[in-house]
Amino acid sequence: MKTLCESLAVILMKEFIRLFGGYKIDWKKIFFVGAIMTASCVMLQMFILNDPLDMWFLSLPVAIPSDKPLNSSLSLNKTSTEARVKRLQIISGAPIVSPNPPIDLNLSVPIMPVAALVPPRGKSRRRRKDSKVDNMSKVVPPPPPPRRTVPSRMQKFIWSLTPKEALVYAKKEVEHAPAVMEDDPDLYAPIFRNISVFKRSYELMELILKVYIYRDGARPIFHQPHLRGIYASEGWFMKLMEENRQFVTRDPEMAHLFYFPYSMRQLGMALYVPNSHNLKPLSIFLRDYTNTIAAKYPFWNRTHGSDHFLVACHDWGPYTLTAHEELTKNTIKALCNADTSEGIFVARKDVSLPETTIRTPRKPLRNVGGFRVSQRPLLAFFAGNMHGRVRPTLLKHWQDKHEDMKIYGPLPLRVSRKMSYVQHMKSSKFCICPMGYEVNSPRIIESIYYECVPVIIADNFPPPLSDVLDWSKFSVAVAEKDIPKLREILVAIPMRRYLTMQINVKMVQKHFLWNPRPIRYDLFHMILHSIWSSRLNQIQIPES
């Protein structure tokens, strides 16, 4: 049919030239007649062809079988009703996935939805420009998954229980957690100690847990989160906890946990006298606050504080609790300074809190992501201030010793001009995370953010969220006494094992992200789950 239309057009053009060769041509009339002819040909095709016209535009490219050479001839003359039906099914169905997709080991670049790549209308030019620059350097958080519906009978049963009965029920369920037989798209089993126990415990937390937040206390120490810097974890948890509607209750009689909403960072800024090295005023303040809560409400005295919790990321967090015995021994403490050798942090009861560096509170996920393994020429990297007992030893043995090990004190200006601190981490296979004055280091979570396998050098330190995460699958622990053997330890790791660890770092990353609006299994929920799990461990199941 296409040939017929072309032939008619050629004949008409020759006729026009023969008839009007010596005359002045009215081109407007010629174009008008041509337009009518074109429309007529299109209508003619729609009625005569076997397939509708839209199917010609929407039909898929022909797939060449893998067992035939690319230059082999293909017969495309056969058209049938069955073929048209198949094409219609393909077009109206789901997106097409190749049966043999190429294997891509580079998981660094997140797959972003189309809506995330298109800037919203009405934004200023400056913001559009910024979005282009940061588009591929930041991770766009996925939309929150739909909340799982719970049968009404189960809801009524849970609501009929007292807080203590609900905790007993939850502990029994966790102890008899069914084995996870199917892969969960939201969880990656190899990075967990026991995926079955964690999943069941997390589901019960979503179903049961209610937290009462004390309204006592004035700003800035209370209810004013500090969202920037290396101590931002306590501030982000406070912010998201107080904004939460799923877990927070205004009825303390319905609560399973009670939260002290104070910021250790704000407490230090408000009460500490610079260069005094005296933390006693801070300890007295928290002692008096706890006594006020115990005198005003009956909840502390019922359990002597064992169902109360606090979140403190500042190094001084553990030391400011010592003026109150029950606050130190009984309360569930989520601490960045989780040093088990000092007798304040108690393993299996307290929670090792991640120390996260937040430089831009409006964009907490900025720069998250890293390079593929082939783009990481450095074996190891460290740069930082020289404080504590470990870092000077690290520099003594490894500074300027090997070209592929970049070990510095503070990153020199001449070096940072060529490659920034973040670029160093993204270009290294291993990121060295030695303790400073205290056991924790923000480099541990920074390594995960930049997809660099962390090497933790800190004795007596349980890594963050180690109650549920198996850190041996995505990090390397080096004893302080083995610093002289550091390179030997790293080089001895087989490439296959390293690739597995690096993939695990990417998979665990989602559990250490602060999202402006929390989503399941992110850092806010993981911290809350560890506190919930600690409370369940305290519960004694009656023998009857």
Q: What pLDDT score was predicted for residue 26?
A: 63
Supply the CATH number for residue 484's domain.
Answer: 3.40.50.2000
The structural domain count of the chain equals 3
Residues 316 and 383 occupy one common structural domain: no
pLDDT higher than 60, residue 319: yes
Beta strands in 336-452 (DSSP E): 351-352, 378-382, 405-407, 428-434
Report the range of poorest mean pLDDT among 199-213, 358-372, 484-498: 358-372
pLDDT higher than 90, residue 118: no
Q: Which long-range contacts (CB under 8 A, 24 or more apart) does 437-440 make?
A: 437/315, 437/387, 437/388, 438/315, 438/336, 438/337, 438/339, 438/388, 439/337, 439/338, 439/339, 440/336, 440/337, 440/338, 440/352, 440/355, 440/464
Residues 201 and 223 occupy one common structural domain: no
pLDDT higher than 50, residue 298: yes
**508-540 pLDDT per residue, tens:** 999 999 999 999 999 999 999 999 999 999 999
Q: In degrees, to the nearest 5, what angle opens at C-alpha 211 toward C-alphas 208 and 212?
A: 140
Residue 453 lies in a domain: yes
Residues 6+ apart with CB under 8 A from 437: 315, 387, 388
Spatial separation of the C-alpha atoms in residues 336 and 331, rounded to whole Å: 16
Q: Which domain holds residue 288?
A: 211-359+526-538
Query: Under a CB-based contact definition with an 8 Å cutoff, are residues 207 and 189 in contact?
Result: no
pLDDT higher than 70, residue 99: no
Residues 193 and 227 occupy one common structural domain: no
Question: Rounded mean pLDDT of 263-269?
Answer: 96
Residues 267 and 397 occupy one common structural domain: no
Residue 56 lies in a domain: no
Residues 173 and 299 occupy one common structural domain: no
What is 297-348 written as a DSSP string?
Answer: -SHHHHHTTTTEEEEE-STTTTGGGTTSHHHHHTSEEEES---TTSSSS-TT
Spatial separation of the C-alpha atoms in residues 533 and 70, rounded to whole Å: 59
Strands 428-434 and 378-382: parallel
Residue 446 lies in a domain: yes
Residues 330 and 404 occupy one common structural domain: no
Spatial separation of the C-alpha atoms in residues 285 and 321, rounded to whole Å: 10
Q: What is the pTM of this model?
A: 0.74
- The better pLDDT of the pair 120, 163 is held by 163
pLDDT higher than 60, residue 221: yes
Residues 198 and 222 occupy one common structural domain: no
Q: How far is CA 25 from CA 11, 16, 205, 230, in A?
A: 18, 9, 84, 81
Omega prior to 220 cis, within 30 of 0: yes
Residues 383 and 314 occupy one common structural domain: no
pLDDT higher than 80, residue 471: yes
3-class SS letters over 172-212? HHHHCCCCCCCCCCCCCHHHECCHHHHHHHHHHHHHHCCEE
| Amino acid of residue 521 | Y
The interaxial angle of helices 523-538 and 163-175, nearest 10 deg, is 100
Q: Which of 297, 317, 315 is nearest to 305 (CA)?
A: 297
Question: Rounded mean pLDDT of 29-55?
Answer: 58
Residues 388 and 499 occupy one common structural domain: yes
Residue 463 lies in a domain: yes
CA dihedral 227, 232, 233, 237 (to 10 degrees): -20
Residue 120 lies in a domain: no
Spatial separation of the C-alpha atoms in residues 386 and 217, rounded to whole Å: 37
Residues 505 and 534 occupy one common structural domain: no
Q: What pLDDT score was predicted for residue 50?
A: 44
Q: Which long-range contacts (CB under 8 A, 24 or more apart) does 12-16 make?
A: 12/37
> Residue 135: which H helix or E strand, with range?
none
The overall average pLDDT reported for the chain is: 82
pLDDT higher than 90, residue 33: no
Residue at a domain's end among 208, 236, 252: 208
Residues 166 and 269 occupy one common structural domain: no
Q: How confident is the model at residue 51 (pLDDT cuts 50, 70, 90)?
A: very low
Residue 252 lies in a domain: yes
pLDDT higher than 70, residue 145: no
| Amino acid of residue 174 | V
Helix, strand, coil content of the chain in percent (nearest 5): 45, 10, 45
Q: Which of 470, 411, 414 is nearest to 443 (CA)?
A: 411
Spatial separation of the C-alpha atoms in residues 369 and 110, rounded to whole Å: 8
- H helices then E strands: how many in the chain? 21, 10
**154-163 pLDDT per residue, tens:** 888 988 999 9
Q: Specify which residues 106 forms β-bridges with.
A: none
Spatial separation of the C-alpha atoms in residues 368 and 362, rounded to whole Å: 14
Query: Under a CB-based contact definition with an 8 Å cutoff, are residues 16 and 34 in contact?
Result: no
pLDDT higher than 50, residue 266: yes
Q: Which of 411, 521, 526, 510 is nearest to 141 (CA)?
A: 510
- R_g of the chain, CA atoms, integer Å: 32
Q: How confident is the model at residue 19 (pLDDT cuts 50, 70, 90)?
A: low
Residue 110 lies in a domain: no
Spatial separation of the C-alpha atoms in residues 492 and 310, rounded to whole Å: 41
Residue 532 lies in a domain: yes
Spatial separation of the C-alpha atoms in residues 154 and 299, rounded to whole Å: 27
Residues 426 and 350 occupy one common structural domain: no
Question: Rounded mean pLDDT of 306-327?
Answer: 97
Q: Specify which residues 211 forms β-bridges with.
A: 248, 257
